[in-house]
Structure 1
Amino acid sequence: MKYYKAFGVNLNNLLVKHSKDVMTVASVGKIEPKQVYRVLNGEHGASLGTIISLAKGLDIEPAELFSFNFDMEKE
């Protein structure tokens, strides 16, 4: 669960960095805004399809969504 939260924090940082909002990312990525909010809040892990949609909506490469530090030893 901590990884999901860290992923959500990174997604939020990317939204800010790229001056995007949830509604825009959801619309461009063709997913429901509720799905984006669930990922942002760390409620569940994102499927590959969701990751691709988020990347499209942010206009980034999918790998950038995973570009954050996470201590696997503490998990």
Structure 2
Amino acid sequence: MENYNRKFVYFICLVSALGGLLFGYDWVVIGGAKPFYELYFDISDSPALQGMAMSVALLGCLIGAMLTGMLADRYGRKPLL
């Protein structure tokens, strides 16, 4: 167990931390838009619909990231941009 690659372990920790940071950033951006889409969709009075809207927005981020990853693998990053 003493023969592990310390740089690799630090890299894995860095990637994991960056993933958490980006997930938190998505959450904050969606939360910042919340007052605007609550008024637009008239869900200001319904906590259940507000929670569902936040959940669907995060689910959309997840699905978008997965689809974009698959498209980037197939066509490359630059053509997608």
Q: Greater Rg, structure 1 or structure 2?
A: 2
Name whichever structure is richer in helix by fraction.
Answer: 2
Structure having greater relative contact order (Cα 8 Å, sep ≥ 6): 1
**TM bucket, shorter chain:** 0.3 to 0.5
TM (norm. structure 2) is 0.31
TM (norm. structure 1) is 0.33
